[in-house]
């Protein structure tokens, strides 16, 4: 039976290795993601910046993703509370330097399903059923120059609301495998991890 000192020593060694890996991962994050991580680690949900500063972050999000909803802004920690559409537009969207319009998404109602989108990219597409069009939309976000790709992080349930039902994930898997195989990839195991064929 190992001594308690040996067990503690092994735990400290494992913890130090884990910390080093975490530091390496943090170094790969963008400045805005590092800031969000620090707020999370500090247990802070409140966004202490002015709406002008929030608008800058929201604009960056829209330019990267094409659109944002009030719920996404809240869930991502950009706003300290879920703002109604009018307030969100008046306090944040109106401060943006890009041309933004709004679109009511299907399944709308309360909960922030009005999308504010960059007109340069057009209205956000809606995916109301699991089909090849949905699979191709997801795969279009994949960096096909990489040898390995994991599609799980791309299955955004806010963007693709149809995926909130787990049964639809099972229907989507073979379609994703088909589209990825058309791009020279093979699935690895039961997850949605792919490797480019030799």
Task: Compute mean pLDDT per 10 residues along the chain, 198 residues long, and list them.
Answer: 60 74 84 76 57 91 87 86 90 94 68 80 79 88 90 84 86 94 91 86
CB 188 within 8 A of CB 195: yes
Task: Tokens for 50, please give them.
Answer: 């002015």
> Has residue 24 been placed in a domain?
yes
**pLDDT, position 123:** 83
Q: 3-class SS at 134?
A: helix
**pLDDT, position 5:** 58
State the residue range of the domain holding 93: 51-118
> 66 and 96, same structural domain?
yes
**pLDDT, position 32:** 76
Task: Tokens for 59, please give them.
Answer: 């604009």
> 139 and 192, same structural domain?
yes
Residue identified by tokens 């409140």 is 46
**pLDDT, position 112:** 44
> Has residue 125 been placed in a domain?
no
CB 117 within 8 A of CB 62: yes
CB 101 within 8 A of CB 116: yes
CA distance 135 to 36: 30
Q: How far apart are the first and last CA of the chain?
A: 48
CA distance 58 to 53: 9
> 164 and 137, same structural domain?
yes
* Phi–psi pair at 147, nearest 5 degrees: -75, -35
Sort strands 114-118 and 193-196 into parallel, antiparallel or unpaired: unpaired
> 90 and 65, same structural domain?
yes
Question: What is the domain count for the chain?
Answer: 3
Integer CA distances (angstroms), 151 to 59, 113, 167, 172, in order: 26, 24, 17, 11
DSSP state of 103: E
> 112 and 58, same structural domain?
yes
> Has residue 126 been placed in a domain?
no
Handedness of CA 169, 175, 179, 182 (dihedral sign): positive
**pLDDT, position 191:** 87
């Amino acid at each position: 039976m190992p001594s308690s000192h040996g067990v503690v020593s092994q735990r400290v060694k494992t913890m130090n290795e884990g910390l080093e890996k975490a530091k390496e991962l943090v170094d790969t994050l963008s400045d805005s993601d590092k800031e969000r991580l620090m707020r999370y680690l500090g247990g802070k949900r409140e966004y202490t910046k002015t709406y002008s500063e929030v608008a800058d972050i929201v604009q960056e999000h829209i330019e990267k993703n094409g659109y944002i909803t009030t719920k996404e802004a809240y869930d991502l920690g950009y706003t300290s509370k879920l703002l109604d559409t009018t307030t969100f537009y008046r306090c944040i969207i109106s401060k943006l330097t890009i041309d933004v319009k709004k679109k009511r998404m299907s399944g709308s109602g309360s909960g922030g399903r009005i999308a504010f989108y960059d007109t340069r990219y057009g209205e956000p597409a809606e995916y109301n059923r699991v089909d090849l069009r949905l699979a191709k939309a997801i795969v279009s976000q994949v960096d096909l120059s990489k040898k390995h790709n994991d599609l799980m992080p791309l299955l955004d349930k806010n963007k693709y609301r149809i995926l909130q039902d787990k049964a639809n994930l099972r229907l989507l898997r073979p379609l994703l495998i088909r589209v990825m195989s058309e791009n020279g990839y093979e699935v690895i195991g039961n997850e949605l991890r792919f490797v480019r064929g030799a």
